Structure 1
Amino acid sequence: MSIELNHTIVYAEDKRASAEFLAGLLGLGTSTFGPFVQVTTGNGVGLDYATAPKGDIAPQHYAFLVSDEEFDAAFDRIKAQGLTYWADPHHRREGEINRNDGGRGVYFLDPSGHNLELITVPYGGWPTR
């Protein structure tokens, strides 16, 4: 069996609000599993949201590889919600997307301050065969 990431815990000020924020932008659903609100990606990785006390959350970075169509839909939702977005992880190029590796990418924050990224091409480009 190959090693795969199955799930990770994402701490949030409000687990439901943060899970629904991500699920809504990506066009995914949420489910409840024990004390967690889970968002599961297309490759089966679960982001299990848990509520943490305010001030106890260290911002993390989560990047999602999406198709061009999924990028368009999510980016439309980002703009419709009036979210601030950037072309770079240091948030210097506000209101722009990047075109790294021949694709498109964008960064934005979730309600708890996690830096989320959407990319249409993996870093370094698609492997050649």
Structure 2
Amino acid sequence: MKCGEIASRPPITITPDKTLEEAVELLSKHDVGILVVVDRENPRKPIGVISERDVVRALAWKAPLTVTVREVATTAGLIYVYVDEPLEEAAKKMEKHRIRHVLVLERSGDLYGVISIRDLLKHCKL
């Protein structure tokens, strides 16, 4: 099975100029653990992620809910797989980097979707 076959689509996105409060509202509204931070001019270009863990860290640092996503998102070293890669590649990257979500990109670099650990477990043969 290929990564693109189980990726959650469309991914829930946010731009870096939005506030932490807006990010929390989106996480809650869509019942997801991660938002893909995308370029304002090109919403298919991922530039980072903001996860529940990022939100917890920001609150632990006493960041106000008015800080921008840019200030609390993870933007370096994005972890991703391509739509045509085997599902095992997503699992390997999640385990190696100790993360619960991985971005799924088209070969062009455009955002396609997100795979969560929950998505993997649904397709795991136990």
TM-score normalised over the length of structure 2? 0.26
Q: Which has the larger radius of gyration?
A: 1
Structure with greater proportional helix content: 2
Q: Could you state the TM-score of these two structures normalised by the residue count of structure 1?
A: 0.26
